[in-house]
Amino acid sequence: MTVNRKPTGTASSIPAGLVSGAMTAAGITLILSAVVAKMIDKQLLSWDNMGYGVMGILLAASWLGAIITAGKVKRQRLLMCVLTGVLYYGILLAVTALFFGGQYSSVGETGLLIFCGSVLAAFTGISRKSKRKPRIHNR
C-alpha cells in the first residue's frame, strides 16, 4: 500500500523536539535559579522560602519544556511530554554528579515534581484540543 500524499506541516523530528524541550527546561532552571538567588541576596525572600522557590522552578521549567516539545513534535503528546521530563531529570542528575560529587538528596521529590509538570503540560494541551469545534465543510 502506498501513499500518494506528500508530508505537510511543520513538525520536527522526535529527537530534535526532545532536545529542544529539555534544553529549554534546563535554561529556564538556570535563569529562575539566578532570580531566586538574587531575591534571597537582596532579602526579598527569606532563606526558609528557598524550598518553595525550587519547587516552583522545577514545575515551571518541566512544564514549559514539555510544552515546547509537544509544540514541535506535534504527535504522541503525552509520550513526548513524559520523555522530555525524563531527559530533563537526567540532565539535572548529571549536573548534580558533576558539581556536587554525586550527593543526591531529595531526588525522589525532584523526579515527582518534574513528572507532574510534564504530565500537566500534556493534559493542558489535550484539553485545549478537545475544546476546539470541528470544522464544517460545505460541499
pLDDT at 52: 87
- Asked if residue 5 is part of any domain, the answer here is no
- Asked if residue 138 is part of any domain, the answer here is no
Cα 9 from Cα 73, distance rounded (Å): 11
What pTM was computed for the model?
0.80
Cα 49 from Cα 123, distance rounded (Å): 29
**Among candidate residues 51, 67, 60, the one with its CA nearest the CA of residue 29:** 60
Q: Do 122 and 96 touch, CB atoms closer than 8 A?
A: no
Number of DSSP helices (H) and strands (E) in the chain, helices first = 4, 0
pLDDT at 45: 84
Total domains in the chain come to 1
For 101, other C-beta atoms within 10 Å of its C-beta total: 8
Cα 55 from Cα 110, distance rounded (Å): 8
Q: Do 62 and 114 touch, CB atoms closer than 8 A?
A: yes
For 12, other C-beta atoms within 10 Å of its C-beta total: 16
- Asked if residue 1 is part of any domain, the answer here is no
> pLDDT in tens for each of the 139 residues of the chain?
555 655 556 667 888 989 999 999 999 999 999 999 999 899 888 888 888 889 999 999 999 999 999 988 888 889 999 999 999 999 999 998 888 887 777 888 999 999 999 999 988 866 555 555 666 767 6
- Asked if residue 28 is part of any domain, the answer here is yes
Block residue for cell numbers 558533576: 98
pLDDT at 50: 85
Q: Do 78 and 135 touch, CB atoms closer than 8 A?
A: no
Q: Residue 55 is part of which domain span?
A: 14-128
- Asked if residue 2 is part of any domain, the answer here is no
